[in-house]
Amino acid sequence: MTTAPLNIAIAGLGTVGAETARQVLDHADHIASRAGRVLTLTAVSARDASRDRGFSMDGIAFEQDPVALAHRDDVDIVIELIGGDDGPALDLIEAALEGGKSVVTANKALLAKHGARLAVLAESKGVHLAGEASVAGGIPSLKMLREGLAANRISRISGILNGTCNYILSTMETTGRDFEDVLKEAQDLGYAEADPSFDVDGIDAAHKLALLTSIGFGSLPDFDAIDITGIRSVSSIDINSAANIGYAIRLLAIAENRDGNIVASVQPTMVPLSSGLAKVDGPLNAVAVEGQPIGSVIAVGPGAGAGATASAVLADLVEVAAGRAAPFFGCAADQLKPASNNGSADYTARFYLRLTVYDRPGVLADVTAVLRDHHVSVESILQQGRAAEGGNGTVPVVLTTHDINNSEMTAAIREIKSLDAVTAEPTVMIISGEG
């Protein structure tokens, strides 16, 4: 090991940043043996210098301003773990790349928004932008697409990309409890933030899908083209209904190449109980890829947490230090094709529909008439219980359809929502035969 040591700096000493620092300090010999050179932690940045993070700060410089790390002469690689798609995180990455320093980040929102431009900057400066930890934590999903499957013609990428949502849905499945109750438990266990919107509304998964789609299909990241539906509307009725017909509900992120058009969505989806994705429970993540000549492959593992995310950060660090790091998008960033993403493009699928309606004669006839007028063939229909006698109560009605074009289904739902007897926003899910 004759190569000169490399000095690294870490911006952001939260759960992941502190774990990364501990690993660099406590397992320096092992990391050096993989990187082919010694890696030294020379500087850090965080809000509070005095907080105990489980490692000694002796000999490590502290910068209150994270951007200052990019200007230090004793820093060769910057690890950005601040978070946020703009602000200090972006300022730091831009300054580091401009200054000829490689960057490792776990910031999926920033990469989905600015990744292509930052990759061009990195390549122009002869340094690396690495972000394996930005998608699916400990699963090497980007490396799998970028390197292991590099020669494959990818047709479909799907995955369970948010551990919070997967914990909530799989716990609802095993306990019969409702969304709000399980969400509170997830917050108590640290799986969900105090404000869970980023996770349960599908935004986090969509940022990750934008990056997988870009690498898999060689296109510019296009977060805005992803059709996003979160899991707030999923109830125990839906969980039970799915199980009764042999399905589990998972928040799936899916991107498909349909005749040259990339169709991307994040939405609760019914997957067969026999499928690999249905068996992914708790806070685990999964990434499935279909292409030629591979056929299909699925990778499952921890998608978040200190250990899983730090593992991916350190893997990038080793690759950069060893001179093995590939371009972030698998090709020169200026070769990425303009995005042809269209989340709302037409496709054919079976659908699950749950309505909340007044319990009175003729309601089902009105609903099925609308479906008939839009050429939606109903496979099954079930009214769940009865309202209290003498009242004007509501009941849930669950329907499943045969294969139908999604534009017809969308038009039918729009009309059904306008019926006087329908009292709440319908819950709609695709019934997938894959997974």
Domain 348-431 has CATH 3.30.70.260: yes
- Tens digits of residue pLDDT in 75-123: 999 999 999 999 999 999 999 999 999 999 999 999 999 999 999 999 9
Out of 5-9, 167-171, 380-384, pick the least confident: 380-384
**Residue 385, pLDDT score:** 62
Task: Supply the pLDDT for residue 4.
Answer: 83
pLDDT of residue 393: 86
Domain ranges of the chain: 6-134, 147-301, 348-431
Cα-flanking dihedrals φ and ψ of residue 212, to 5°? -60, -40
Of 255, 320, 322, 289, nearest to 150 by C-alpha is: 289
pLDDT score for 305: 85
143 is an active site residue: no
List C-alpha distances in Å: 284 to 144, 250, 293, 322.
18, 12, 28, 30
Q: Answer yes or no: same fold for 6-134 and 147-301.
A: no
Instruction: Give me the CATH code for the 147-301 domain, please.
Output: 3.30.360.10
Superfamily for the 6-134 domain = NAD(P)-binding Rossmann-like Domain (3.40.50.720)
Q: Residue 256: which pLDDT band, with cuts at 50, 70 and 90? A: very high
208, 279, 337, 417: the catalytic one is 208
pLDDT value at 433 more than 90: no
Query: CA nearest 168: which of 139, 145, 147, 192?
Result: 192
Q: What does the pLDDT average to over 172-186?
A: 94
Tell me how far apart the alpha carbons of residues 46 and 63 are, in angstroms, rounded to a whole number.
Answer: 7
Cα pseudo-dihedral 334, 340, 341, 347, rounded to 10: -150
Query: For residue 343, is pLDDT > 70?
Result: no
User: Percentage of the chain with pLDDT > 90?
Assistant: 82
pLDDT at 342: 60
Residue 56 has pLDDT above 60, yes or no: yes
Between CA 405 and CA 391 the distance in angstroms is 38
